[in-house]
Chain A
Amino acid sequence: MPIGLYIHVPFCLQKCRYCDFSSYPLEQGQVEHYLRGLRQEMAYYKEILTPEQKQTATIFVGGGTPTCLVSGQLTGILEQVNRFFTIIPGAEITTEANPGTVTPDSLRELRAAGFNRLSLGVQSTHRELLRLLGRIHDFEQARQAVQDARAAGFENINLDLIFGLPTQTVAHWRQSVSDILDLAPEHLSCYSLQLEEGTPLSGAVDRGQLAACPEETELAMYHIVMEMLSAAGYRHYEISNFALPGCQCRHNLLYWHNREYLGLGPAAHSHLNGVRWGNVEEIHQYVSLLHRGQRPAEEIQTLSRREQMEETVFLGLRLIEGVSLDAFQQHFGAALTEAFNKQIRDLTEKGLVELAAGHLKLTGKGLPLANQVFAEFV
């Protein structure tokens, strides 16, 4: 079965105030350094992977902000992938983009080079909230970016939105969703804000300078977006993801189906042959390990059969359709309902999960409490 390829571009023009992903300030010397490392990492895997494992059905370039590279550098990455891996026809090739770092020209170049899906970090439609998040763009730029992407030939566009922000009201959110719908994206990711320790935003909340959004408000916002998007013809297919029919993100589905993927670049994560690992975060360390012919991986973890089962369940439960009992049985040669008999019984009793149509899935009540459910499976 073909694998997915994730490529991490660890650069940003400016760090957003809520983000704790790995990224560095954009600096050309560093970028070139990184690109050399990335090429070496691909070359490394070319040697050790079987031809079968080099069959790539999805490519996802994420960050950081991939589009803060000049477009030649970004399309260059795709050319390298083409050299070292086999991109199968019809592959989904996504790049993340910040509305403040794209132009009609750059978008045309990306489309021409083979990118066929664009994921734009819109995050909010409100000036104040965008400023609060530390975003470098306004909504006007996001609107323009979508228009330019359409003009460049992108027929599959995702927009990222965040809700549950400090000071955000339910009315704000309703307006935002409505404004976003006007842009008619094929796909929408709506995340509730996670206050990550050590980020400026969570610091401000801890110091009492900002009030975290009350749980009740967050829940109301979640319900609003579910209603509005379903009325507009989108299918809610994962806790935070909505798509027009046929436009689900195939790359992200690999994660949720607990399939195999290879992550390239600093801090990228992989799952191959029952082993999970993450690359080192620091660019110099990443490059110098590769330079010495070593794999830049750390935290290499071989999963036991039980752990694989657990992960299959808690990842699969993120999908609205749930975990397929047949697929589980086929993969593990054991019945899901037997392997997790007690958990399923307890959680069913609490009304958080249900067995229906050959799947184990979250109920409407379980959906906003998903973590409480997942924790039972680890």
Chain B
Amino acid sequence: MATPQNRIRNFCIIAHIDHGKSTLADRILEYTGALSQREMTEQVLDKMDLERERGITIKLQAVRLFYKAADGQEYQLNLIDTPGHVDFTYEVSRSLAACEGALLVVDASQGIEAQTLANVYLALENDLEIIPVINKIDLPSAEPERVKQEIEDVIGLDTAESVLASAKTGLGIEEILEQVVTKIPPPQGDAEAPLQALIFDSHYDAYRGVIAYIRIVQGTLKPGMRIRMMATQKEFEVTEVGVFNPNMTFVDKLSTGEVGFVAASMKNVQDVRVGDTVTSAQKPAPQPLPGYRKVTPMVFCGLYPVDTVDYEDLRDALDKLRLNDASLIYEPETSEALGFGFRCGFLGLLHMEIIQERLEREYGLSLITTAPSVVYRVTTTKGEVLQVDNPANLPPINNIEQIEEPFVKATVMVPKDYVGTVMDLCQGKRGIYSNMEYMGVNRVMLTYEIPLSEIIYDFFDQLKSRTKGYASLDYEMQGYQASDLVKMDILLNGEPLDALSCIVHRERAYTRGRALAEKLRSLIPRHMFEIPVQAAIGNKIIARETVKAMRKDVLAKCYGGDISRKRKLLEKQKEGKRRMKQVGNVEIPQEAFMAVLSIEE
């Protein structure tokens, strides 16, 4: 039974991590009967285990619900879930583009956070109707009036009709649904016009190929149609269309304004790019929907199997993950120390951690991850411009004219008592001050230009710990600037270990070199010989530490004949060795390759 276009509402939820987005989505599903209470597992929309553990949404989901409103009519509501992390800003912008409205969920005790604000601006750019929801008002610390005032002051939204809600207790859910129906406009778009459908996400299904999540902007999509991806120019024949309610359900067609999925025997997720427009091959739309861009990875690292025989397995696993994740890129690389592996590009640090964890958890691989690097732009003395995403590939120092590095515009929101602390931190990370603005009485928004390489070190952790978790961060790419950068090498036992090289600012090289050598000394277990650990710039050694030789390792007690216990201890000892990477005659634990991220200067 088709829903008339004027009774369709497409909306999403904008919220900071922990402000209750997933719980609210669950309550809405429950309230509209999309799921009985019995069927509910906690937080249905977050499908991956990892997401549930980290409490964040990584992949987008879209659910179709039916709601009988106070006016007696039944409405089709499409709730599109959005990821809540800065790594996935582009995906957020595309899912917002698929909606006419958004619920802005703000924690009644915490107030607005930087990430929320960034997403609200994205929503306003897309002309979305925004419904403020003050959540968690059941908590004793809730201050709904203060938070309302903040929303008015900072975003300029009228909060007179904002909903006071508690997703936990179910308070305010009906009110939210009523406002979705009455305030959010129905989708526009000409049902008779040539097909234009926006791809806002995709996933790979082993039987059906790539499943594209789409919003029909105009026209109609049916099985049997021949479709064309306007950016990639690839054509496919539609096998199935459907919706999530929340389980995958097939329908006869998707009409203008509707949200759903399309399957068309698409084998390669690279052909089905987020932000691209699906049109009809027979009757193509004159132009694609605006806003498409190819996402570019910002952070790179090397991934190597601990055991070299796992190389093919790692390749297969990456191939499989890429089916679901168009933003993951990788190419083979070799390291003298680590052998064969892959250079992988990610949207950000979280994205990197997620991929790494999935490889280890879902594919049972034991991996060495090298410290992440940004892409440096190197101009050689011959005038060539190189993109260097691996410090080991930096040309010799004499051949370098200049090195430029990517900068981001970082926005930090923080209670005013922490302004000094945050400024110190930003300055310490080579940040350049650009702005400070009061948001209401107590909170301040600071803007800095900071090298991305500093952000991916420990900026976020430092920010959180120095502000007791009160600060929130958002950043966007700003472009390249020249910096005085040098390559720092690490030598183990006198041999340079390419996988540990890093690019650092010249002024910080000594402190960082000392800290890194010290950290490595503590991470590398004693061997039966002494191991010098050195940091060097060019031929100059700037720091030296020594891992002393192991002198004694003997289990004295014989445990009253408990040989099994002894055996287990020996097996554990051996297993520990197996997890280490043997480079030359030195065994290096996995965490040593990431040591540069956790040094304290």
Specify which chain A residues have a CB less than 8 angstroms from the CB of B160 in the assembled complex. none
Those of A213-231 within 8 Å (CB) of chain B: 215-216, 218-219, 222
Contacts of B559 in A (CB 8 A): 21, 269
Query: B residues 528-581 with Cβ under 8 Å of A?
Result: 528, 548, 550-564, 566-567, 570-571, 573-574, 577
Residues of B whose CB lies within 8 Å of any CB of A are 526, 528, 548, 550-564, 566-567, 570-571, 573-574, 577
Interface assignment of A232: CB less than 8 Å from any CB of chain B: no
A252: chain B residues at CB < 8 Å are 558
Cross-chain contact A370 with B564 (CB below 8 angstroms): no
Q: Is the CB of A378 within 8 A of B560?
A: no
Shortest CB–CB separation between residue A38 and chain B, in angstroms?
A: 15
Within 8 Å CB of B550, what residues of A? 215, 369, 372
In Å, the complex CA distance between A114 and B132 comes to 87
- CB neighbours of A318 from chain B (8 A): 558
Q: Which residues of A contact B557 (CB under 8 A)?
A: 191, 194, 240
- A240 and B559 CA atoms in complex are apart in Å by 13
CB <8 Å contact, A6 and B528: no
Question: In the bound complex, do residue B553 and residue A369 qualify as a contact, i.e. CB atoms below 8 Å apart?
Answer: yes
Pick the residue among B555, B558, B563 that contacts A371 (CB under 8 A): B555
A299 interface hit (Cβ, 8 Å): yes
What's the minimum C-beta distance from B587 to chain A, rounded to whole angstroms? 12
B528 touches A350 (CB 8 A): yes
Cross-chain contact A375 with B577 (CB below 8 angstroms): yes
Interface residues of A in 235-276 (CB under 8 A from B): 239-240, 252, 255-256, 261, 263, 268-271, 276
Nearest CB of B to A301, in Å: 6
Q: Which of A270, A278, A350, A372 contacts B553 (CB 8 A)?
A: A372
State the total of A-B contacts with C-beta under 8 angstroms: 96
Cβ contact of B560, chosen from A8, A215, A370, A372, cutoff 8 A: A8
In the complex, which residues 281-322 of chain A have their Cβ closer than 8 Å to any Cβ of chain B? Answer: 299, 301, 311, 314-315, 318
Cβ 8 A contact of B556, one of A194, A216, A219, A261: A194
Chain B residues within an 8 Å CB radius of A372: 528, 550, 553
Contacting residues, chain B, for A348 (C-beta < 8 A): none
A62 within 8 A of B: yes
Q: Closest A-chain residue to B562, C-beta based?
A: A269
Q: Which A residue sits closest to B560, measured CB to CB?
A: A62
- Whether the Cβ atoms of B562 and A369 lie closer than 8 Å is no
User: Looking at the complex, which one of B561, B564, B567 makes contact with A261 (CB distance below 8 Å)?
Assistant: B561
> A residues touching B (Cβ–Cβ < 8 Å)?
6, 8, 21, 62, 191-194, 215-216, 218-219, 222, 239-240, 252, 255-256, 261, 263, 268-271, 276, 278, 299, 301, 311, 314-315, 318, 350, 367-372, 374-378
Could you say which residues of chain B place their CB within 8 Å of the CB of A270?
A: 561
Of A192, A271, A378, the contact of B571 (CB 8 Å cutoff) = A378
Which residues of chain B are near A311, meaning CB under 8 Å? 563, 567
Output the least CB separation between A213 and chain B (Å): 10
Known A371-B573, A378-B571; judge A218-B552 contact (CB<8 A).
Answer: yes
| A303 → B minimal CB distance (Å) | 9
Task: Contacts A191-B556, A370-B553, A375-B573 known; list 9 others, CB within 8 Å.
Answer: A6-B560, A218-B552, A255-B561, A269-B561, A369-B552, A371-B553, A371-B573, A374-B570, A375-B574
A6 to B552, CA, bound (A): 30
Q: What residues on B are CB-neighbors of A301 within 8 Å?
A: 564
> Complex Cα distance A38/B561, Å?
18
Instruction: Give me 19 A-to-B residue pairs in the complex whose CB atoms sit less than 8 angstroms apart, sorted by A's number.
Output: A6-B561, A192-B554, A192-B556, A193-B556, A216-B551, A219-B552, A239-B554, A240-B556, A252-B558, A263-B561, A268-B560, A269-B560, A278-B562, A369-B554, A371-B555, A372-B528, A372-B553, A375-B570, A378-B571
Q: How far is the CA of A367 from the CA of B553 in the complex (A)?
A: 9
Q: How far is the CB of A359 from chain B (nearest CB, A)?
A: 19
Q: What are the 9 closest A-B residue pairs judged by CB atoms, nearest first? A: A191-B556, A215-B551, A371-B553, A368-B552, A370-B554, A269-B562, A219-B551, A269-B561, A375-B574
Q: Which residues of A contact B555 (CB under 8 A)?
A: 194, 370-371
> In the bound complex, what is the Cα–Cα distance between A8 and B560 (angstroms)?
9
| A residues near B563, Cβ cutoff 8 Å | 255, 269, 271, 276, 311, 315
Most buried by B among A62, A255, A318: A255
Q: A318's closest neighbor in chain B, by CB? A: B558
Contact yes or no, B560 A263, CB < 8 A: yes
Looking at B552, B571, B573, B577, which has the most chain A CB atoms within 10 Å of its CB? Answer: B552
Q: Which residue of B lies closest to A277 (CB)?
A: B564
Enumerate chain B residues within 8 angstroms of A193, measured Cβ to Cβ. Answer: 556
A368 touching B574, Cβ below 8 Å: no
Partner among B556, B558, B564, B577 whose Cβ is within 8 Å of the Cβ of A299 = B564
A277 to chain B, nearest CB (A): 8
Query: What's the least CB distance linking B268 to chain A, in Å?
Result: 46
CB nearest neighbor in B for A193: B556
> Chain B: which residue is nearest A64 at the CB level?
B560
Q: How far is the CA of A375 from the CA of B571 in the complex (A)?
A: 7
CB distance from A158 to the nearest CB of B (A): 13
Chain A positions within 8 Å of B562 at CB level: 269, 278
Q: How far is the CA of A271 from the CA of B558 in the complex (A)?
A: 14
Name the distance in Å between A144's Cβ and chain B's nearest Cβ.
Answer: 26
A378 CA to B550 CA, complexed, in Å:
21
Q: Which chain B positions have C-beta within 8 A of A271? A: 561, 563
**Are the C-beta atoms of B564 and A368 separated by less than 8 Å?**
no
- Complex formed: what's the CA distance from A8 to B561 in Å? 11
Chain B residue at minimum C-beta to C-beta distance from A367 = B554
Q: Report the nearest A residue to B527, measured CB to CB.
A: A372
Most-contacted residue by chain B among A62, A269, A301, A375 (CB, 10 A): A375
B552 touches A215 (CB 8 A): yes
- The docked-state distance in angstroms from the alpha carbon of A301 to that of B567 is 12
Check A369 against B528 for contact (C-beta < 8 Å). yes
Contact of A239 among B556, B566, B567, B577 (CB under 8 A): B556
Query: In chain B, what residue has the closest Cβ to A256?
Result: B558
Identify the closest chain A residue to B555 (Cβ). Answer: A371
Residues on the B chain within 8 Å of A268, using CB: 560-561
Which residues on B sit within 8 Å (CB–CB) of A256?
558
Residues of B with C-beta under 8 A to A299: 564
Shortest CB-to-CB span from A302 to chain B, Å, is 12
Query: Which of A8, A315, A368 makes the CB contact (< 8 A) with B551?
Result: A368
Cβ-closest chain B residue relative to A368: B552
Q: Which residues of A contact B528 (CB under 8 A)?
A: 350, 369, 372
From A261, which residue of chain B is reached at the shortest CB distance?
B561
Q: Which of B526, B560, B561, B567 contacts A21 (CB 8 A)?
A: B560
B553 pairs with A378, CB closer than 8 A: no
**How far does the Cβ of B529 sit from chain A's closest Cβ, in whole Å?**
10
CB distance from A274 to the nearest CB of B (A): 13
Contacts of A314 in B (CB 8 A): 566-567, 570
- Nearest to A378 among chain B residues (CB) is B570
Q: Shortest distance in angstroms between A243's beta carbon and chain B's nearest beta carbon? A: 15
Closest to B558 in A: A255
Residues of B within 8 Å of A8, CB to CB, are 560
Say how far A278's CB is from chain B's closest CB, in angstroms. Answer: 6
Q: How far is the CB of B89 from the nearest CB of chain A, in Å?
A: 43
> A374 to chain B: which residues have CB within 8 Å?
570
- In the docked arrangement, what's the CA distance between A270 and B564, Å? 10
Assembly CA distance A188 to B468 (angstroms): 57
Give Cα A269 to B566, complex, Å. 12
**Chain B residue nearest to A162 in the complex (CB):** B556
Residues of chain A within 8 A of B551, CB atoms compared: 215-216, 218-219, 368
